[in-house]
Amino acid sequence: MELTDISGYRVVRKLGSGGMGDVYLVDHPRLPRRDAIKVLSRSLSMDPQFTARFQREAEVLAGIAHPNVVTAYDRGAIDDRLWLAMEYIDGADASQVLKRDGPLHPDVVGDIIGGVGAALDAVWQQRGLTHRDVKPANVLLALGDPGSTRPSAVKLVDFGIAKAADEASSLTATGAAMGTMTYMSPEAIESRRLDSRSDLYSLACTAFELLTGGPPYPDNGIRAMMMAHLGAPIPDVTLHRPGLPAALNPVFHRALAKEPGDRYATGAQFAAAYRAALATAPPARTLPAPALTRQAPAGAQPGTHDRNTRVQNAGGPAPASAPPAAARSTASRRGLLLAIGALVAVLVLAALGYSWLTSDTDGGAPVAAPSSIAAPTSAAPSPSAPSQPTVTGTDAAGFVGEYARCGDGETLRAAMITEASSGSGRPAHVVICDGASGPVYRAAQVGDTVGISLQATPVPGGYTAFNPNPGGSGGTSYRAVLDSGVTVTSPDGASEFLRWSQIWQR
């Protein structure tokens, strides 16, 4: 049953839905203001882990007042479902802007470094907190009036796994890394004590991706990415996007340094160095006009916006893949790299990632909404393009914003959603990807923060994969039959067959 009222907030419309819950545009019950409310699903509201994170985000945000941090207004529960009322933003998250329109203009990336850097400086200096999941999807860009060429505001969102310096490291009790591996600092991977310089490393990874179209280290699997963060040479941005000032290379070399002491100490320092390097050779001479340009629709009244406003492509050639490189030879890292290399599969606890973007469907402007909770209803694949995945929540690479997704250099072969498991009561998202070393089986339960990425073996009608027990014998096997479902066999020999509720295959 659709909600029409959430603890006094009148629901204007549902902005989107996903495996983790729903997002609504609402009218404030007492003020002339519209807010965005995210409502956790009933099953996850009963899960202590998700409940703790959801509540923590509200508590952290309640203690932060900063123009570059999204504001939380209220929280509560309705029909056994937790909800959080947050600031309504006319904008889009940076990952969706990048995906839709390509690399951002360097000036806009400078705005993002400055805004997010200021937010990170403030929460560290005032509260001693580290965010631990800085990434493009957690950077919200508020667009300005028609004709503006820069974001009117930059907001950092999702403080669900933020921690104080004296709290536990980035590993959970089960040893799985918290955060998103593409942007995770070496010290977070190694479970060392973290400070704001770990977040600044993640910000540098984010800026690199927004500037060039791809992260500094491509997604060739979790194991390869961990090793790259720990030991691979830092790539030059100019190799990935010709036309940028060469002075930007040493800026990113410092921002992405393997050791925290070799990086910028504050976000303000990083932003100042970036802008100074950009000024050495204004990119406007070789690159098109800045991104985030609004064009007022014909006949539009002042202050109104066309819902189809697009962010213009900043141009430049397609980004190249980062070249492979040897790992650093420090003794402390060598042992860890060898341990990682010995794993056939790595389970990584990805952040819940309340990334933000959904569009109004009645001509209004976009509104902030957690994309990991709610995928925009307009994102369904077009039936006129059968060569593209038709499974709910997918694009050409797999499930949007989730672990079950093909990486750079991989081709999506199949995408499936299983029926609910008898153990968890939840379905799973599964993809088969063709990679350089053969097919890959990648899967994660809906609403779960643990995913598996396994080398797969083609068999008649499908694929098999095996996930060995870390440090022990045996493991879990998977047999995916493309026209029916997947059989999961646990180490004790117990099996469960899960039928596909949706499937697409190339």
Q: What amino acid positions are annotated as catalytic residues?
A: 133
Contacts of 300 (CB under 8 A, 6+ apart): 146, 306
Helix (H, G, I), strand (E, B) or coil at 487: strand
CB-CB contact of 382 with 388 (8 Å): yes
β-pair partners for 167: none
Distance CA(433)–CA(188), nearest Å, equals: 28
| Closest CA relative to residue 259, chosen from 206, 209, 167, 333 | 333
CB-CB contact of 203 with 131 (8 Å): no
* Tokens describing residue 158: 């999702």
CB-CB contact of 491 with 475 (8 Å): yes
β-pair partners for 498: 486
Distance CA(377)–CA(399), nearest Å, equals: 14
CB-CB contact of 254 with 271 (8 Å): no
Helix (H, G, I), strand (E, B) or coil at 423: coil
Cα dist from 130 to 86, 119, 166, whole Å: 21, 11, 11
Distance CA(236)–CA(239), nearest Å, equals: 6
Contacts of 262 (CB under 8 A, 6+ apart): 254
Q: CB 309: neighbour CB atoms within 10 A?
A: 17
| Closest CA relative to residue 195, chosen from 122, 118, 268, 124 | 124
CB-CB contact of 243 with 128 (8 Å): no
Distance CA(179)–CA(160), nearest Å, equals: 10
47 burial via Cβ count (<10 Å: 0-12, 13-18, 19+): middle
